[in-house]
Each structure stands twice: as C-alpha cells, then as structure tokens.
Structure 1
C-alpha cells in the first residue's frame, strides 16, 4: 500500500487551507471590528472564538476518524467549515460573525483527520516522507495565511478573505470525494469507546513525552510569531504590517526545508532528528533576539526556528502513528491538544514579557521553552521503560492485542510506555 504524489499534494492543500481559516483574521482585525461594531478592546474575541472551537474539535471530532470512513468525514468537515466561513463573509452583526468563526474553528480540525488518514494510506517505509509533505501544508497555511489575507483585505476588503476560503473549501470537499479511496475498515470501536480511551493515552509514556515536547516547541513557536511584530513595528524600524508579513516567507523557507526530516524518521532516526532539531531551536533564539538592533540575523533565526519546529513535529507524528496504528486519529488529536495549548501559552507569555523586559526578555522566554523541550527529550530517551503498556487500550479499539505495539519503529524507537 502507498500514497501517490497527487494524493499527497491534495492532503497538503487540504491542511493548508483548513488551518488558514483560524489565522486569516489576524491582519484584518481592525477592519472586521469596525464593520460589525466590535470595540477595539473586544477584537481579541475574533481570534479566541476560532481557537476555542478548534480545541473542542480536537477533543470531540478528531477521534471520530477511528470510527467512520475518513474520506466522507474529511469531505463533511470541509463542507461544514465552508458553512462557517460563508456565515463570516456575510455577517453584519458581531454575534453572527462569532458564530461563524466558532463553527469554522470547530471543523478546522479536519487537518488532524487528514494527517492521520495520510499516515495510514502510506507504506510504512514512506510514512515519514508523507508526514513531512502533509504537515508542510500546515505550516504554509499558518504562515502564509497572514500574508495572503492581508493582501486580499487591502484589495477587496476583509469579506473577500472568507469568500475565497468558502470557494476553496467547497472545491476541496468535492476533490476529496472524487479522488480519495474509501476508508472501510473492520472491527472499529464505537465512538463512545474511542472518546473514553482518549484519556488512556495520557498513561502512555511515549504519548506524554512527545506531547510535552510539542507543548514546549510550539510555546517557543508562539513566542516568536505572536511577538515578533512588536520590535519590528517599534524603533528603530517602524515597519508596516506588509513588511512584517514578509518575515513569514523566511519561516516558510525553513519549514519547507524540514519536510525532508520525514526521511530521517523513515530510516529509524526519529530520536536523533528530534534531539538535533531541539538544539537548533534553542540556538535560533540567539540571532532572533537581535531584532532591536539588526534584521538580517532575525531572518536567519526565523529560518532555523521554523526548520527545527517542523522537523520535531514530523518526527513526533511519525513515532505516534507507528506506535498506535489502530488509533491514529485519536493519537493525533490528543497530541494536537498539547500543540494548541503550547501555542496559546507562548502567545500570551510573549506579550506580557515584552511589556516588562522588551524583545530580549521575549527571546529568553522562547529559548527557555526550547530548552525545556530538550530536557523532556533527554529524560525520555529510548530504552527507558515504565510499567504498563498500550495493550489494554488498543485491544478495546482494534478488537485484538497488537494495537499498541510500535509496528513501524525500529528497535531503538519502540514506545517506552
């Protein structure tokens, strides 16, 4: 079994468009608030509402991929996300805008269903390559959304952003039904059992350690991308939003370069790739911290940071989907809870620290998050085993006894739980 390059590209595009629905409002917050009557103090609700919907979807919707046909599930989520973006595009009142954003965020978790489905369709020897390509779509969506949305808002107003998203989501839903194979699997558990078993993942050492690494990595990521605009807009640079957005291109270069990290995972070197990438992540804050004095080091730091984040993300997902092959949707959904919480902590932390200690303080915070991730990696190295196993929870879901074994890992990368 394998995944064609065309399908791999479609999965990456789905991820890019779906995840962008959460971020496209950021460059146009002032326009949106003025149009629907939201005061400046409440503009944060526009971003927060979508993020809350996303968190709910991670817990309640993503595990459904272990129960239902994922081709239909992905298409359905894309259609419902399109309903949300359409509501936002026509909203004249704040309550309708927020309802549309909540609905869009809820079904933006189609990203995780797509990643899990892509991993399952891939041959074991190509899983890392597939995850590298598909999750590159996620990074493109996160970083590129701000640039594209800012341009659309400047040309045709903020509503054009959501009109374009609606058309893209509808087209992708049709492509999914037409081009993806059906996902009929035997012995699936009931949806309720899947939700209950999600809590059992937090007793698995591999899952918890990789989740904590993701938490700190994306806290570092959030520290950069939620705070970098502050020193760039201040003295001595006074850059505008368009110029600041161009730094996202440097981030894209780094993230796309890391897509090949999946090849290292396929070769059985996920642990080594993770450790090296975390060391790079911590080191990237030295040039990035120069934002108040020089811009070229910042470009280098942004490239290295996004390369490191993507490499860790691909390696984490490769290990988890190989270790829990009968519950990939649940494990990816649970893992992404760490991701989302880390991003939120980084975003809120960098604002508070910048107000007190400037960009130097924010850079120390970002580096500290990276070092915490490196510490978790060091203490959870392969070979250390704890009591218990994933057998019991996997048996519930797969109807057999092997669901928790790491069927796609080499000997030095078997789950430690």
Structure 2
C-alpha cells in the first residue's frame, strides 16, 4: 500500500503557478479581439466568436478530461495536458487564417483544464484540517492567472504583435509540462473502473450526494451573477462616463480582491465554518447590487460594489469547493467535473440573460436581474443548509 505524498509548501506553490498558467491560456485572446478583427477584416461580433469557442472547448475538457484525474496517474496526465496546451498555443501563434485560429483555440480550451486537475489534487494531498487552505491557495493562483493574462497579453501585443502573446505563452506552458514530470509526485489512480462507468459515476454522484447537488446549484447561480455583472458593466460605463476600453479594463484588476476572499474562505472552511461563511458571502453579493445601481452616478459607489461582488462570489466558490471535496476522496476529479460544469453553465446563462436585460431596460434591468438571482442564492442556502446542526458543518454541506 503506497503512502500518500506530502503536500509541501513548495509543491502547493508549484500547483498554484500551474493553475494560473493553464487557465490564463483561455483569457489571452480577450484583449486582442479588436486587433484580430482588423487583421482579418471581421466584425467585432465575429472576432468575439473566438472567446465563445474557447469556452465551449473548456466545458468539453471539464466533462471529458478532468474525470481522468481519478482514473490515471496524475503526474503523467498533468504533463500531457500541459504539453498539449503548449502545442495548441504555439499553433495559435502561427495560425495562417482566422479559421485555423478558431480550431486551435478550441483545442487549447479542451486541454487547459489542467487547473481543474490540480485543484482536486491539492484537496487529495492535503490533510483534513488543511484542505480548505490548500484549495484556496491553488484557486488564488487560478484567479491571479485570469487577472494577469489580460495584462500580459496587452503588453506583449503592444511590444511584438499579437502572435508573440501565444508563442511566449506556449514556451511557458512547455516549461511547466517538463517541470510537472519532474516535480509532481507519483500518485496512484483512485478509480480502476471502465471509462463508461467512470463517466456515468458523475451522474451517480449527483444522485447520491445532496451536498454536491445543492452546492452545484448555489455555485451555478453565483457564477450566473458574475456573468450578469461583467457582461453589461462596460456598456453602462461607456454610456454614463464615456470611458475608454483601457480604463474599463482596469476594473478587472479590482478582481485581485478575489484572491483575498479565496484565502479567507479556505481558512474558515478548515475551522468548520463553511456553511455559515457561505451565507455571509452570498449576502455580501446581495449587498453589492445597491452600490452597483448607485454606480450610475458615483464611481466610488460602483468601485465599492465591484469589490463586494467579487468578494462574495469568490468566497462562496471556495466554500462550495471545500465542502464538495470532503464528500468522496476517491472521486475528487469527478466531483470537480460535476461542480464546475454546473458552475460554468450558470455563467453562460448569466451572460446571455444579462445581454437581453440590458437591451430591454438598460443598467437598472441588469441590476434587478442580478439582485434577484443573488437573493435566490440566499433563499436556497437558508432553505437547504440551515436545516442541519451546526456541529455537522465540518463534514460537508
């Protein structure tokens, strides 16, 4: 019987870096859409198709690749996904046409789910009393990757053209792939079933684990709130304040507050407060919408609202993950697939509904929609999570 490798601080930092690098692959393209539209003679909507297909690729990777973390030796799996992401990014940088850029973007989306293999791996290696903190640390790396991807992309494109962004990112991922094979310890698979049984077991987990069902519902609705806000906020800032895209992009940097929320939520989960802290984070999200509404006339109010909504959403996300990973040690990658697929689908629905709401009633309609979904999250949490004794909080849900 093999003993479980120790999760050292160095290994945790390495996993956090990999989480950030891999998820960044999905976001490099966002600041480049205008450049790409000009180069290929496309409308902004057509160029934006790149973001959509990459996200669809990511959803495919969540469903098809992430469950393999329970079925395969994870060091090899992480090495392969990182190397394939590096190849996909290089192909994007050398793409001869927009169509090929789209194809390679899909492939990068599928393989850059490395982060979603690393998060359950951190939960697997951590001791029970440190699991929340470990998940929070790797998620902090993921959030930092999302933040810095746009900044890195903008600077590289300015200095050396848009192709340099993907070529440089490819080199970083290739280095990480080699490092994975050398640094990640050998970890035996936790599942030896057939592939068919492996994938069907994700549905069985939803059937058998009420904690997974309600945490996935809350997570999906919270990410819908995220999509509702970020999809329409730029329209409001341009209309009300005449802001440039560059200045609007700076509001994304406020997202760094999410890293603080991740660490706080992880530590609260380790102390057995995940259930109550989830409610506090959800109510923080609700409170943000009053300030965001007032943000039509006050940038100070708007900025405070952005801070609160990010704190609430990221804090609830880490609390959800901490509780989900307590459920079944042998199925943590499949639990990740179930939870994150729900989370991702919620975000897609939120973005689509936000665009419709803004078209029908402007920013006030978006605020009403976002506040309504936020309140629904609190109602679901109160109805499902407060039924159980407080002493059970450390053991899920």
Aligned CA-pair RMSD? 2.0
> Is 2:308 the partner of 1:300?
no
> Is 2:393 the partner of 1:412?
yes
CA distance in 2, matches of 1:142, 1:271: 27
Q: Which residue is 2:224 aligned to?
A: 219
1:108 to partner: Cα distance: 1.5
- Secondary structure in 2 matching 1:234: helix
Greater alpha carbon shift after TM alignment, 276-285 vs 226-235: 226-235
Q: Which residue is 1:65 aligned to?
A: 69
Q: Which residue is 2:162 aligned to?
A: 158
1:135 to partner: Cα distance: 0.8
| 1:35–1:92 Cα contact (<8 Å) kept | no
CA distance in 1, matches of 2:134, 2:182: 21
Greater alpha carbon shift after TM alignment, 143-152 vs 112-121: 143-152
Which residue of the other structure, out of 66, 71, 86, is the alignment partner of 1:82? 86
What are the equivalent positions in structure 2 for 1:6-405 lying under 5 Å apart?
Answer: 6-185=10-189, 188-203=192-207, 204-235=209-240, 237-381=241-385, 383=387
- Secondary structure in 2 matching 1:323: coil
Superimposed CA distance per residue, residues 303-349 of structure 1 (whole angstroms, 9 cap, x where no aligned partner): 11111112111111111111111100000111101111111112222
The normalised TM-score by structure 2 is 0.93
- Secondary structure in 2 matching 1:24: coil
CA distance in 2, matches of 1:286, 1:254: 20
CA distance in 2, matches of 1:164, 1:174: 16
| 1:37–1:93 Cα contact (<8 Å) kept | no
Greater alpha carbon shift after TM alignment, 5-14 vs 136-145: 136-145
CA distance in 2, matches of 1:328, 1:90: 37
1:179 to partner: Cα distance: 1.3
| 1:259–1:310 Cα contact (<8 Å) kept | no
Q: Cα 1:226–1:157, aligned 2, differ >3 Å: closer, same or farther?
A: farther
CA distance in 2, matches of 1:219, 1:355: 18
Q: Cα 1:245–1:148, aligned 2, differ >3 Å: closer, same or farther?
A: farther
CA distance in 2, matches of 1:155, 1:238: 27
| 1:214–1:338 Cα contact (<8 Å) kept | yes
CA distance in 2, matches of 1:67, 1:145: 31
- Secondary structure in 1 matching 2:329: coil
CA distance in 1, matches of 2:163, 2:119: 29
Greater alpha carbon shift after TM alignment, 327-336 vs 366-375: 366-375
For structure 2, the residue ranges without an aligned partner over 5 or more in a row are none
| 2:228–2:354 Cα contact (<8 Å) kept | yes
- Secondary structure in 2 matching 1:65: helix
| 1:382–1:413 Cα contact (<8 Å) kept | no
Q: Which residue is 1:401 aligned to?
A: none
- Structure 1 or 2: more helix by fraction: 2
1:186 to partner: Cα distance: 6.1
1:77 to partner: Cα distance: 0.3
- Secondary structure in 1 matching 2:371: helix
Count the aligned residue pairs: 392
Greater alpha carbon shift after TM alignment, 34-43 vs 15-24: 34-43
- Secondary structure in 2 matching 1:62: coil
1:38 to partner: Cα distance: 3.7
Superimposed CA distance per residue, residues 337-372 of structure 1 (whole angstroms, 9 cap, x where no aligned partner): 111111111222222211222222212222222112
1:415 to partner: Cα distance: 4.8
CA distance in 1, matches of 2:371, 2:178: 43
Q: Cα 1:40–1:412, aligned 2, differ >3 Å: closer, same or farther?
A: closer
Q: Cα 1:12–1:373, aligned 2, differ >3 Å: closer, same or farther?
A: same
The normalised TM-score by structure 1 is 0.89
CA distance in 2, matches of 1:410, 1:226: 40
| 1:55–1:106 Cα contact (<8 Å) kept | yes
Q: Cα 1:231–1:85, aligned 2, differ >3 Å: closer, same or farther?
A: same
| 1:36–1:91 Cα contact (<8 Å) kept | no
